[in-house]
């Protein structure tokens, strides 16, 4: 049985950074466990955060097959070919694999593949112990193409009242989708002090606050130098905060 962690939140709140830090925690804490990183943000950059070069996106593969069906080898069904191509597009990195969903369909809509894709992805993801999904702000894309079962949903907010209000709206949106979420936790990122000042607003979100990640200069420096989060020191403030959050949640 795989355990699915999904991360969502308003733009720029630190979803991709958190996904990368959670993946690093999983790799350290559960050595050898199979981990799948899923970039479900159309404006994908989880590959960069993880320092991996991504292969073709799932949407690009499906579009390509729909446009040029003649590429399907004789005797192979379209579904089988698509499955084969998706397997092939998995980037295998040291300690995890990466699947990039790609942009949502544009004018030429190939929605017919959505159900098929979901089935294929559900089958594929079953073979992993942990799946970590980096989402766009809402989760429409996710609900259409990937799993409909999430064990743990992290909603990331920045250290502002506005950010927290948006976290609440995102939770409401997520509830409208056909996704079953077992547990939802709030994370305040880039905190520049105590969360006491935001206590009331945090309460109003109705989401339980599971941890606070401080503003980490090491991340800013890395970002300035064009480096990826994987290069971040293991003892950096942000990584330690994420370790603490994960230890707390995964204590059994
Ligand atoms: N704890 C932190 N301390 C300092 N900088 C941070 C921290 N978390 C994230 N950042 C920086 O904030 C910016 C946005 O982070 P990130 O890309 O992870 O957000 P995102 O929510 O994935 O954004 P998008 O909505 O564009 O996908 C990045 O430049 C990142 O380096
Ligand atoms: Mg991102």
**What residues have a C-beta under 5 A from ligand 2, the ion?**
15-16
Q: Nearest C-alpha to atom 7 of ligand 1 is from which residue?
A: 190
Q: Could you tell me the mean pLDDT of each successive run of 10 residues in the chain, 252 residues long?
A: 91 95 95 91 85 86 89 93 90 90 61 68 87 80 65 95 93 83 96 91 96 96 88 94 96 66
Sign of the torsion formed by the C-alpha atoms of 221, 224, 225 and 228: positive
3-class DSSP state for residue 109?
A: coil
Asked whether the beta carbons of 119 and 20 are under 8 A apart, the reply is no
Q: Nearest C-alpha to atom 15 of ligand 1 is from which residue?
A: 14
Q: Name the token pair of 189.
A: 């990122």
What is the 3-class SS of 185-201, one letter each residue? EEEEEEECCCCHHHHHH
How far apart CA 215 and CA 219 sit, in angstroms, is 8
* Residue 70 DSSP code: G
Distance 209 CA to ligand 1 centre (A): 19
The residue to mutate among 7, 14, 224, having the most atoms of ligand 1 within 8 angstroms of its beta carbon, is: 14
How far apart CA 99 and CA 239 sit, in angstroms, is 23
**pLDDT of the residue at 107:** 46
For the chain, the domain total comes to: 1
**pLDDT of the residue at 145:** 55
* Residue 226 DSSP code: T
Residue 189 Cβ < 6 Å to ligand 1: yes
How far apart CA 133 and CA 29 sit, in angstroms, is 19
What H or E segment, with its residue span, contains residue 158? none
Residue 221 Cβ < 6 Å to ligand 1: no
Atom of ligand 1 nearest to the CA of 19: 18
Give the distance from CA 31 to its chain's centroid: 20
The residue to mutate among 7, 16, 159, 160, having the most atoms of ligand 1 within 8 angstroms of its beta carbon, is: 16
Spatial CA neighbour of 143 closest among 106, 172, 170, 176 = 176
CATH of the domain at 191: 3.40.50.300
How far apart CA 205 and CA 154 sit, in angstroms, is 13
Distance 15 CA to ligand 1 centre (A): 7
Distance 13 CA to ligand 1 centre (A): 6
Q: What is the pTM of this model?
A: 0.92
Residue 145 Cβ < 6 Å to ligand 1: no
What H or E segment, with its residue span, contains residue 152? strand 149-157
**pLDDT of the residue at 55:** 80
Residues forming a β-bridge with 6: 133, 153
Return the axis-axis angle of helices 237-250 and 217-224, rounded to nearest 10°: 120
How far apart CA 105 and CA 108 sit, in angstroms, is 7
Residue 48: give the domain boundaries.
Answer: 3-250
């Amino acid at each position: 049985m795989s355990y699915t962690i999904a991360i969502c939140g308003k733009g720029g709140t630190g979803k991709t950074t958190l996904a990368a830090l959670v993946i690093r925690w999983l790799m350290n804490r559960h050595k050898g466990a199979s981990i799948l990183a899923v970039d479900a943000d159309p404006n994908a950059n989880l590959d960069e955060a993880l320092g991996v070069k991504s292969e073709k996106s799932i949407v690009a593969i499906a579009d390509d097959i729909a446009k040029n069906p003649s590429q399907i080898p004789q005797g192979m069904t379209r579904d089988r070919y698509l499955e084969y191509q998706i397997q092939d597009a998995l980037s295998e990195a040291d300690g995890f694999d990466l699947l990039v969903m790609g942009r949502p369909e544009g004018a030429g809509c190939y929605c017919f593949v959505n159900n098929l894709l979901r089935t294929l992805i559900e089958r594929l993801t079953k073979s992993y112990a942990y799946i970590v999904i980096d989402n766009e702000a809402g989760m429409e894309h996710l609900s259409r193409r990937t799993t409909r079962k999430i064990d743990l949903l992290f909603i990331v907010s920045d250290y502002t009242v506005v950010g927290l209000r948006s976290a609440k709206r995102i939770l409401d949106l997520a509830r409208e989708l056909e996704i079953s979420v077992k547990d939802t936790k709030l994370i305040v990122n880039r905190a520049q002090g105590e969360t006491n000042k935001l206590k009331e607003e945090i309460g109003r979100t109705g989401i339980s606050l599971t941890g606070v990640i401080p503003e980490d200069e090491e991340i800013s420096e890395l970002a300035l130098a064009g480096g990826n989060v994987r290069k971040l020191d293991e003892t950096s403030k942000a990584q330690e905060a994420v370790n603490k959050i994960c230890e707390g949640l995964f204590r059994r």
